[in-house]
């Protein structure tokens, strides 16, 4: 429960600066990693998505929410896309691709889905911060999107992400936000390749809301 007495002493007039400082911090992080994402990895991901019969999206927690947003845009582009775990998600086949999002590359639910996809001879796209992770090692297409880093902090993902050195971007915030923006870039590229515009995409947008 929130301590209301403590809130009375809070100067909310200063909170706008905190909000803007946080936004600048995230933007700086994204800018610092744009050129570090390999062009070949981006091209391979786009080719893999376009040649798949069905696209499946898998992520846990906030990474899963980022994946859902990406899935919506792929649907708008008229691609056959599904979110793992939904009741209407069909079987995965050798013609399909699984897009996984995991900062650590060690999330149990994501690894389980990736193993099933590999067992069924499909392709796995991994978006993670760690190229040496289990998920990265089993992927067919690997895109490294860095999350929070700090010199002198353990290489353990959990310890690194929970290290309290940045009050503005806790835990996996930077990875998740960076992924969101990266995937928006993928959508823009697919729009160009497929010659799809906003008008066509809007026609596919949900109307039962």
Residue 90 CA to residue 101 CA, distance in Å, equals 20
Per-residue tokens: 188: 């823009």
Per-residue tokens: 97: 């691709």
DSSP-derived pairing of the beta strands 141-144 and 55-59: unpaired
> Which of the following is catalytic: 5, 176, 196, 209?
176
CB 124 within 8 A of CB 100: yes
176 is catalytic: yes
Residue 156's alpha-carbon distances to 105, 112, 126, 150, 165, in angstroms, are 11, 21, 19, 12, 16
Per-residue tokens: 80: 């056959």
The end-to-end CA distance of the chain, in Å, is 33
The 8 Å CB, 24+ separation contacts for 66-70 are 66/101, 66/176, 66/179, 66/180, 66/183, 67/99, 67/101, 69/180, 69/183, 70/99, 70/183, 70/186, 70/187
Active centre residues (catalytic) = 176
């Amino acid at each position: 429960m929130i301590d209301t007495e403590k809130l009375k002493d809070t100067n909310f007039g200063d909170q706008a600066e905190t909000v803007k400082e946080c936004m600048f911090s995230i933007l700086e992080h994204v800018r610092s990693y744009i050129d570090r994402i390999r062009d070949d990895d981006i091209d391979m991901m786009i080719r893999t998505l376009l040649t798949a019969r069905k696209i499946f999206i898998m992520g846990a927690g906030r990474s899963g929410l980022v994946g859902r947003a990406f899935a919506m845009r792929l649907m708008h582009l008229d691609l056959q896309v599904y979110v793992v775990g939904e009741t209407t998600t069909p079987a995965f086949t050798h013609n399909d691709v699984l897009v996984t999002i995991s900062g650590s590359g060690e999330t149990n639910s994501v690894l389980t889905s990736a193993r099933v996809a590999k067992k069924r001879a499909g392709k796995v796209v991994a978006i993670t911060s760690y190229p040496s992770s289990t998920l990265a090692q089993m992927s067919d297409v690997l895109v490294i999107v860095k999350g929070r880093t700090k010199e002198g902090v353990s290489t353990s993902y959990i310890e690194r992400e929970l290290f309290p050195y940045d009050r503005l971007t806790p835990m996996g915030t930077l990875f998740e936000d960076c992924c969101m923006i990266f995937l928006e870039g993928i959508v823009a590229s697919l729009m160009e390749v497929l010659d799809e515009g906003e008008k066509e995409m809007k026609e596919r947008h949900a109307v039962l809301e």
